[in-house]
Structure 1
Amino acid sequence: MDTFRRLAGFTLIELMIAIAIIGILASIAYPAYTEYVKQAKRADGKSALLSAQMAQEKYRTTHTAYSASLDAIGVSGTSPDGYYTVAITGTPNATTYTLTATPRSPFTDSTCGTFAVNQDGKDYTGYASADCWKK
């Protein structure tokens, strides 16, 4: 009988190479994943704003001015998934209004921040840029 048998398995070097490859792949994949998650959360805020914008226009068809209250137009103060707070800023009148969607804690978006729309469409003045609306 053969008293010395070769044991099958991985060497320490092979194991370290495999761990290094996994680390490199993870360092590439994780930032891409987090950016994808932020894009999905931004979509929540943008859809809430566009729904509120449609509600404002509908309200205006039967009243002399835009509404100053989200309740009056039947819109919630939070986005559907809860990542943004929706608000009417300023004082709406017969011709103007501004709606904003601000990120809610714990979600933060230092790249885009607050999204806004007004009676003319997307509002970039002091709010998220046109690039953020595309992301």
Structure 2
Amino acid sequence: MSLFMACGVWLVGLGAYFVFLRPALLPEDPRFISVPLDRLRGLAPGLEAWRRIVFTVMGGFMTGACVLIVHLARMAMRERQGGTGWAVAFSGLVTVGLMSAMDFVLHSDFRWVLLLPALLWAVAAVLYARQV
């Protein structure tokens, strides 16, 4: 439970990063699409403003969902309420698991760092399932 809580708290922080600190384009973004940044800005001058909005929405959803994860880990998991383990495990699969997988698809500079929370989530799910 505490490992799920730690993962949830980390994701709340990551969501805040997306809302407040993440630049609209990372150096890996133009590299992935094979267009230099200055050319990209010329071709799509509104791209960075649009991405800023997208990342704000995404970060807000990430933060909100993970506040619920922390609450589930703190309350429902302790009582081992039916279905809670599956719900938390699935939420990890579609949040940190999918994010980590897509970072590898994109060859993100951060892919190895972002693999750690996905692995920790998987370990937490296995440990929770093994508890009697």
Q: TM-score, normalised by structure 2?
A: 0.33
Higher share of residues assigned strand = 1
Higher share of residues assigned helix = 2
Tell which has more relative contact order, 1 or 2 (C-alpha 8 A, sep 6+): 2
Q: TM-score, normalised by structure 1?
A: 0.33
